[in-house]
Each structure stands twice: as C-alpha cells, then as structure tokens.
Structure 1
Amino acid sequence: MRAGLIIVGIILLVAGIWIVSGHASYQDTDTLLQVGSAKITATHDKGVPQWVGIAGIVVGGLFAVSGFISKR
C-alpha cells in the first residue's frame, strides 16, 4: 500500500506539472451543419484547465507524502 501511494502520488504530481506548464490539450469536435447523412464538422484544440493541474499537484503531493511517512 505504501509503495502504491508513492507511485500514484508521483504520477499525479508529474501530470499536474505537465498540465500547469500548458502542454496538455484535447480535441473537441463540433457539428456545424447536418443535412441527412452529410455533416460538416470542425475540430478545435482546447487546453486542459489549469485548476485540474493544480488539483493534481496538491493531491499527488498529499499521496506521496502520506506514502513516505506511513509506518507500514
């Protein structure tokens, strides 16, 4: 359990730092026009909100610290 907390904490820390630094994005597809079976779509790249990265850093830090200080 201790090693699992440390590993998950470090993964969340790294992912949070990646998001806060602005490197994380996802694609969103919108349908602009649809007539019958024909569609016109647009794909946009959007950044992941920074609060998600900050939350990942905080939770990852808590997990890692609790894994390091647990006695078992």
Structure 2
Amino acid sequence: MRILLFIVGILLLVGGLWVVFGHGSYTQTDTVFQLGSAKLTATHDKAVPQWLGISGIVVGALLVLGGLFSKR
C-alpha cells in the first residue's frame, strides 16, 4: 500500500509541475458552420488551468508523504 501511495503521488506531482510550467495543453475542435455533409471546423489549443496543476502538486506531495511515513 505504501509503494502505491508513493507512485501515485510522484505521478501527480510530476503532472502538476508539467501543467504549472506551461506545457499542459489539449486540443478542442468546434464546428463553426455545417450545411448538409459539408462542415467547417476550427481547432484550438487550450492550456490546462493553473489551479489544476497546483492541486496536483499539493495532492501528490501529500500522497508521497503519506507513503513515506505510513506505519504499515
């Protein structure tokens, strides 16, 4: 159980740091206009919100500490 907490905590910590330093983004495609089978779409690159990265860092650090200091 300790090693699982430690691994998940490290993954969340690294993912949170990735987002905070500006590398976390995703692509969103919107349909602008559609007439029959013809479709005009627009693709946007959007950044993952900073609060999500910060919360990943906090939760990841708590899980790592819980894995390190667990008695079992």
Q: What TM bracket, shorter-length normalisation?
A: over 0.9
CA RMSD between the two structures: 0.4
Runs of 4+ in 1 over 6 A off after TM superposition: none
- Give 1:23's aligned residue: 23
State the Cα distance separating 1:37 from its structure 2 match: 1.1
* Amino-acid identity (%): 65
Structure 2: runs of 5 or more not aligned: none
SS of the aligned residue for 1:19 comes to helix
Q: Counterpart of 2:39 in structure 1: which amino acid? A: K
Query: Could you tell me how far apart the structure 2 residues matched to 1:51 and 1:36 are?
Result: 41
In 2, Cα distance between equivalents of 1:66 and 1:24: 26
Offset from partner CA, 1:43-68 (integer Å, 9 cap, x none): 00010000000010000001000010
Structure 1 unaligned spans of 5+: none
**With structure 2 as the length reference, what TM-score do the two structures score?**
0.98
CA distance in 2, matches of 1:10, 1:19: 14
Size of the alignment, in residue pairs?
Answer: 72
